[in-house]
Amino acid sequence: MDKNLVQVTPFNLLSSGERGATYDFALCRQQQEFIYLTRKKGSLSGNTYHEGLSQATQPKIFLLLQGTILLSYRKIETTTAYSQNIEAPAQIEIQPFVTHNVEAITDILMMECNAIADIEQDRRFEEV
């Protein structure tokens, strides 16, 4: 894996017990708007990259809140692709000019740390 392209940080487990678990995490920037995503097992999303035209895509941040994904990614204008399984809860930071896609290994729940307006002019399509 190339940590200069994608960084995955598991949430910090504070406690767990009969009732469930409590975690914390910190974003690398102030964030006011989020996109809430659910995906069904076996679905594929993405094959996009961002140029970092918006503060919300420098880096692009996803919060995997439930489930397991296979994240595939590649720096554009290169041929080396990477894939990694990621289990919730985790924070995923993707740098600009890194095309990426997400395959839902299980049903998943994610949040994007941006608004639709942040990515409308900054999203490019290119397969991993």
Note the pLDDT of residue 2. 74
Q: What integer best gives the mean pLDDT of the chain?
A: 96
Domain ranges of the chain: 6-11+34-125
Residues 106 and 38: beta-carbon distance below 8 Å = no
pLDDT in tens, 9-33: 999 999 999 999 999 999 999 999 9
pLDDT at 126 over 70: yes
Q: What is the pTM of this model?
A: 0.94
Burial 50-79 (b: 16+ CB within 10 A, else e): beeebebbbbbbbbbbebbbebbbbbeeee
Average the pLDDT over 85-108 and give the result. 98
Task: pLDDT band for 36, please (50, 70, 90 cuts).
Answer: very high
Note the pLDDT of residue 20. 97
pLDDT in tens, 69-96: 999 999 999 999 999 999 999 999 999 9
pLDDT at 3 over 90: no
Residues 41 and 104: beta-carbon distance below 8 Å = yes
pLDDT at 1 over 70: no
CA distance 109 to 91: 12
Average the pLDDT over 46-72 and give the result. 96
Note the pLDDT of residue 41. 98
Other beta carbons within 10 angstroms of residue 84's beta carbon come to: 13
Note the pLDDT of residue 81. 97
Query: Class of 6-11+34-125 per CATH?
Result: mainly beta
